[in-house]
Amino acid sequence: MIQDTWFEVGRLESLFIEIIDDPTKKEVLLYPICYCQLVRKEGSFEIELGKLLRCANKTFRSVKGEWQDILLELNLFQVKSKEGKVFSGKEILTVSQSSDYTVSFQPEYRESFQEICSKLIKYWGVLSKISSYARKNTAPEYIHILSMVFNEGLFKEATYYSDILLQRFPDEEEFWKLMRELGNFYLSYIQNNDADMKKLITAQRLVANLGEVYYSVDTGKLYRDLEKLRKNLMKGESVYMVKIELFKDRNYGRGFITRIIDLYGKMKSFLKKRGGKRWTLMNSETEFSCYTGAYLKRRRHLPIST
User: How many Å apart are CA 226 and CA 119, to the nearest integer?
Assistant: 25
Q: What is the pLDDT of residue 275?
A: 52
Side chain identity at 142, as an amino acid letter? Y
User: How many Å apart are CA 49 and CA 281, to the nearest integer?
Assistant: 69
Domain residue limits, the chain: 11-114, 133-234, 261-300
Side chain identity at 227, as an amino acid letter? E
Q: What is the pLDDT of residue 26?
A: 87
What's the DSSP call for residue 80? E
Whole-model pTM? 0.74
Q: What is the pLDDT of residue 59?
A: 66
Going by C-alpha positions, the residue among 21, 12, 23 that lies closest to residue 164 is: 21
Q: What is the pLDDT of residue 295?
A: 42
| Cβ atoms 176, 207 nearer than 8 A | no
Count CB atoms within 10 A of the CB of residue 36. Answer: 17
User: How many Å apart are CA 280 and CA 287, to the nearest integer?
Assistant: 10
Is 74 exposed, middle or buried (CB count within 10 Å of its CB: 0-12, 13-18, 19+)? middle
Q: Which residues contact 42 (CB under 8 A, 6 or more apart)?
A: none
Q: What is the pLDDT of residue 303?
A: 41
What's the DSSP call for residue 171? G
Going by C-alpha positions, the residue among 240, 297, 288 that lies closest to residue 267 is: 288
CA-based max dimension of the chain? 86
Total length of the chain:
306
Low-confidence ranges of the chain (pLDDT < 70): 1-9, 59-64, 132-135, 249-306
Q: What is the pLDDT of residue 98?
A: 76
Strand partners, 251: none
Going by C-alpha positions, the residue among 123, 126, 160 that lies closest to residue 9 is: 160
Q: Which residues contact 200 (CB under 8 A, 6 or more apart)?
A: 181, 185, 226, 229, 230, 233
